[in-house]
Every structure is written in C-alpha cells, then in structure tokens.
A and B are shown apart, each in its own frame.
Chain A
Amino acid sequence: MPQPPKKALQIFNSTQFDQYFNQFDNFYIGSATCHFLLPSLKDFGYLLDKTQKENKMLSLLTPIMPQDAFPHLEKLIKLVEEKQALNFFELIFNDWGVFQDFKDVADLKLICGSFIINQKKDPYYLSLKDQYDATSTMSVANNPDYAEFLLSQGIDTIELENICQGISLKNLEKLKINLHTPYISFSLTRHCPQALIEQGKNFQQIITQCDKYCQNEPKQIWQLKNEHYQSFYRGNWQVYKSQAPLPNNINKIIYNQLLIEPTIS
C-alpha cells in the first residue's frame, strides 16, 4: 500500500509552530511572496532545534529575492549548517538567483517553488469553462523536457498549487510534488498596498521597510466575492480558496507533502 502523504503546515511565527507542532510532519516558514517574511535568526534557530529533536522537517520558503535580502538568507542557511540540521531541512526557491547562491551547499535539499513552476492560476478560469482546454490544468513541468531540465540541475521536487480548474499529473512521474491546498497565490506586487496604507503613503512605491503588517488582524484583508470564487488581498499578494478536488491518483504516485495553509479569513 502506498504511504499516505506527509502533511505540512505553513506557519508565520513560533507561536503557530508550537500550537500545531503535534499535528504535522513538516512546517513551512518564510514566504514565497515577500522577503520581509523570512524568519529572524532567533525564531529560525528555535524552529530548527525543535524539528530536529522531534525528527520533523522544516522548509524555508523564499520569494523573488532582492539583492539586499541575500545576506539574511545566507545567515539562515549558515545556521542550518552549524546546527547540522540539513537532514531535517529543505529550501524552497522561487528565484533562480537563490538556487544559484545555494546549489553548492553540500546536502542542502533545494525545491523548485510554485512561482517558477508556472500554472494558470487566475480564478477567472472557472468562468471560462467552455473555452479552456486540457492545457489549462497543466504546469510547465508537465513538459518532459522541462522536467529533464530540472533534473539536470539536481532538482527532483517541485511545488504545485491545486488550481481551481484542477491539476494535470501528465508526465510528472520523474518528479516529486509538494502540493499546496486550498489557498492559491495568483498575483503579487512589491507595491504592497497594505504596507503603504499602514505607512501613510498614498501612491505606489516599492516597499523597502516593513513591519509585517499582513500578519496583523483579519481586518487587514480585502475580500473579493463573485459567483465563481472568493479571493483575498493580503499584504502584497492575492490568494483565493480553491474548491478543486484532488486528482484520484494523487495518493498513489506523486506527492510527498500536502501543504495546508492556515485559515486566512
């Protein structure tokens, strides 16, 4: 019998980590959308110690990385090495620059994030059912040549999101899949409206300092409703909750983790 998938949880701080620690095998810290959400060294050290001690996994999610954000990320990875925690750790990159920077760290598991593995994520696809074809459920990784390219870089695991029109598993046999569900990130900006408002600015500007306003109370979330989907603007990214059923054969072949993101509304 195939093993059931390991369950992972996206957390944003050590309080959430402690709260859910016994319920999950793997914890995602950091963010695929914003470098300001990378954990502090202190928090990260605490998470590393506890996951290592209890034989669980810690995954560090990283976004598109501005040049200035690299020194902090390099410190985080150095800490993993110092604590000899590489066997309990994986780095998820959404920027080939991050891959380039860390590809030579021995024993560091690098996973290709969902913003590199392009999928058609706009929830408006649900309103176009009559027009879209099978390719709408595919990602770039469904192309065997793309999979070969990833494997040639030493990457055997990718992240996918369970998009509203469903996902295709065609040609994915050679890769391991981390599946995000139920929240799908489909758009992000460096003109973070939430931070700009909090900082009293009234026009678009790239955020250079942030106090993680998006982690504040739910009142900070804008909610969009129509007949097809429900989506939210939180911080600098837009997400929606997908109702798409998982593929029937998902337990049998393709993924090793299920990322259940915490409720955001």
Chain B
Amino acid sequence: MKILAPISNLSELSPLIKNGADEFYMGIFSKSWFKQNKFFNPLNRRYTAQSNVLDTQEAGKIIEQAKNQNKPVYVTFNTNTNFSGKSVIINELENIIKLKPEAIIARDPVIIKLIRKLDKSLPIYLSSLDQVVNTQAAKFWHENFNITKFILPRNLNLAEIRKITQELPQFEFELFIYNDDCFNNIDGLCSSIHYQKHAGLDINFVCHRENLYKNQDQNLQEKFININHNKSLCNACLFFHLKDIPNIKSAKIVGRDKSIDEKIKLVQFLKQARSLVSKENDFNKFQKNTRMLHKLIFKNTYCQNCPYAPTT
C-alpha cells in the first residue's frame, strides 16, 4: 500500500518525498473560477486557499518534478456538476489536463464524461463522495464510465472493505488512513457548508454544532456530545488488517490544509507503521508498537477507540 500524501505547494514536494510519501494528490485553486463562483461551488470540496495549489504554473511544476522522481500526482476535481455552464468547466478541465497529471479524481457523471471526451486515455479515479460501499456500485461506475480505481469512503468497516476489495480483484482501491475532522458524516451525503473560517466567516460543520442542541434530558445530551467529540483519526491498523489484499493500492492522508510540519509527521508515522507490518505477525504487538510510535511522533495517542482495532 502506497502512502498518498496531500500537497498544496511546490516547497512541500522534496521534504514529503524525503520522509516517505509515495504519491500525491492536490487541488488547484482557480482564480477565474473563484471570481465567478465565490466559494459556493468549490472545484474540490475544499474552499480555502491554503488547501489548494494557488496557480496552475506551480501545479505543473509539482507534477513534473514529482514525475521525475517516479511519484505520481493526482488532481482532485470532485465538484458536483457545475451550474455556471459547460464552457466554464471545460476550460478548467483543459487547464488541468494540460498539466498531465497521473489521474483526475472526480465524482460527477457529467464531469467524468467531459474528461473522457477531452482525453480518452487519462485515468479517472472515483471520489469517495460517490459512496462505493458495495460491489454493485463499483460495477455501475465501471459499466458506464470505465472507472477501474475507487476511493473507498470513510464510513466502511473492516469487513465491508475486505468484502468489496476481495470480490472485485479486477479493480483497484484507495482508502483513508489518517483522517481529519470529516470522520463522522457520510462522505458526499453531508450537506454541511465547508468554509469554516473563510472570508471572515466562522461556521461550524454540522457535525460540530452539537453543543447548540437542546434536550430536556441533560444526561442524554452529555452522552451525545461525548460520542461526537470522541475522535479516532489514525487508522494505521488498516495496514495490518489489509496487508493481504493486493488491490488496495493507496493509503490516503487527509488534510490538504495541514502545515508542512504536520504533513511530514504524518508521512513519517505512516511509513514506519507500514514497515512494522512486515516485522510483526501478532496484531496486538503491532498495535502496541504503532501506538508507541504515534506517541513518539505526535506526543499523543489517538487510537484508543479505533474502529479497526480489534478486528471489526
């Protein structure tokens, strides 16, 4: 399983490669798009400038320099069908295709068709927002759009991941290995506004508004808030549990808006956690060592309530 890291500017490329990133994904912040759409229709579900590479030229350099080191770069374009007109979106796609990324990550049938029309050979990976949570859904996207690589959504348990990936050996899959705040709601079915702390606004995602809830039963409300605040971000146990499934190709680190220091730590941690799999056959020992590693690098242990430990 390769470690797929987020990147948002050229200066991040070398340190991330040096510390263990195998491949990259990025969004591109289009100024022309932003001017027309403000922040209501982001091209890749991240509204803020710090989550995106800020100009096309820099994005091209990232792709080129990464390619020179055999590190593929994928461009995220998982917006919904654009409401501003086909010509506008074609323009954005043409600019991206010219950069020659390894693949485009998309979700929308119309956009996928447009990409196919503009470049028949460019691979398209299906975004987690399309919720491929069963084998039939993967077959639908393959049958209609010739998609062969799927990004599995966060809301799958281990048994479901195993079942889908093992029943579809002809397809490749990617999964999230280190989450950020978007761990609770179902990808793509959450309609929360995603421009927290943007343009002077400070709007909590819907999954973080629970402190505003009222309930006559105070005890119940406290339990509810406790559950919603109890995070499990790490998921490194997936390396161990899924080591025998060859068509899970990539483990994606969430967090394009994270600082380079955070990204480096994540890559370091996951690279070392992955290497522990080959050294340790006992899950309990693997988990113990991984927790120690996490504590060493991050000074905390997030995996106390990991959904993937023990095996679920």
Q: A179 to chain B: closest CB distance in Å?
A: 17
Which single member of B133, B221, B231 contacts A95 (CB below 8 Å)? Answer: B133
Which A residues touch B235, using CB under 8 A?
none
Across the interface, which residues of A come within 8 angstroms of B130, CB to CB? Answer: 96
Q: Are B40 and A67 in contact (CB under 8 A)?
A: no
Q: CA–CA, A238 to B157, complex, Å?
A: 22
Q: Check if A135 sits within 8 Å of B214, measured CB to CB.
A: no
Let me know if A187 and B40 touch, CB within 8 A.
no
Q: Is A22 in the interface zone, CB < 8 Å from B? A: no
Closest chain A CB from B182 CB (angstroms): 11
Contact residues in A for B228 (Cβ distance below 8 Å): 193, 204
Q: How far is the CA of A203 from the CA of B226 in the complex (A)?
A: 7
- Provide the main secondary structure of the chain A interface: mixed
Contact bitstring A95-112, B, C-beta under 8 A = 1, else 0: 111111100000000000
Assign chain B's interface to a size class: 35 or more
CB within 8 A of A187: which of B83, B133, B183, B185?
B185
A129 in contact (CB, < 8 A):
no
Q: 1/0 contact trace for A175-214 toward B, CB 8 Å? A: 0000000000011111101101100011111101000000
Q: A7-15, A220-228, A254-262: which lies at the B interface? A: A220-228
Question: Given known contacts A118-B80, A131-B38, A222-B214, is B137 in contact with A205 (CB within 8 Å)?
Answer: no
Give the chain B neighbours of A201 by CB distance below 8 A. Answer: 227
A187 in contact with B191 (CB, 8 Å): yes
**With A and B bound together, what is the CA distance between A206 and B189 in angstroms?**
16
A194: chain B residues at CB < 8 Å are 224
A96-B141, A187-B191, A224-B209 known; A143 and B133 CB under 8 Å? Answer: no
Q: Is A136 interfacial (CB-CB < 8 Å)?
A: yes
Cross-chain contact A143 with B110 (CB below 8 angstroms): yes
**Quick one: closest B residue to A223, CB to CB?**
B214
Q: Which residues of A contact B201 (CB under 8 A)?
A: 128
Bound Cα distance A128, B216 (Å): 30
Interface residues of B in 161-209 (CB under 8 A from A): 163-164, 183-186, 189-193, 201, 203, 206-207, 209
Which one of A70, A205, A221 lies within 8 Å of B136 (CB-CB)? Answer: A70
Enumerate B108-141 residues with CB–CB distance to A below 8 Å: 108-110, 113, 130-141
- Given B38, B82, B110, B221, which contacts A149 in the complex, CB threshold below 8 Å? B110
Closest-CB distance, B42 to chain A (whole angstroms): 12
Contacting residues, chain A, for B192 (C-beta < 8 A): 122, 186-187
Q: Name the one of B134, B193, B207, B215 contacting A222, with C-beta atoms under 8 angstroms.
A: B215
Interface status of B86 (Cβ within 8 A of chain A): yes
Is A79 close to B, CB under 8 A? Answer: no
CB neighbours (8 Å) of A82 from chain B are: none
Interface residues on A, range: 35 or more
- Closest Cβ–Cβ distance, residue A186 to chain B (whole Å): 4
Chain B 295-308 interface 0/1 with A at a Cβ cutoff of 8 Å (1 = within): 00000000001010
Q: Least Cβ distance of B200 to chain A in Å?
A: 10
| A100 adjacent to B136 (CB under 8 Å) | yes
User: Could you say which residues of chain B place their CB within 8 Å of the CB of A68?
Assistant: 160
Residue A41 lies at the interface, judged by CB distance under 8 Å to chain B: no
A95 CA / B209 CA spacing, docked (Å): 27
B residues in contact with A132, CB < 8 Å: 38, 40
Q: Does A50 contact B (CB under 8 A)?
A: no
A126 to B201, CA, bound (A): 14
Contact between B307 and A145, CB atoms less than 8 A apart: no
A215 to B144, CA, bound (A): 38
Given A119-B191, A204-B227, do A189 and B110 touch, yes or no (CB 8 Å)?
Answer: no
The docked-state distance in angstroms from the alpha carbon of A107 to that of B122 is: 38
Q: Which residue on A lies nearest to B144, using beta carbons?
A: A153
Give me the 8 closest cross-chain CB pairs, A-B, nearest first. Answer: A97-B137, A97-B136, A121-B191, A203-B305, A135-B83, A100-B140, A222-B213, A97-B134
A residues contacting B by CB (< 8 A) are 64-68, 70, 94-101, 115, 118-122, 124-125, 128, 131-136, 138, 140, 142-143, 145-146, 149, 153, 186-191, 193-194, 196-197, 201-206, 208, 219-226, 233, 238
Instruction: Please list the residues of chain B having a beta carbon within 8 angstroms of any beta carbon in chain A.
Output: 37-38, 40-41, 80-84, 86, 108-110, 113, 130-141, 143-144, 155-157, 160, 163-164, 183-186, 189-193, 201, 203, 206-207, 209-210, 212-217, 220-221, 223-224, 226-228, 230-232, 305, 307, 312
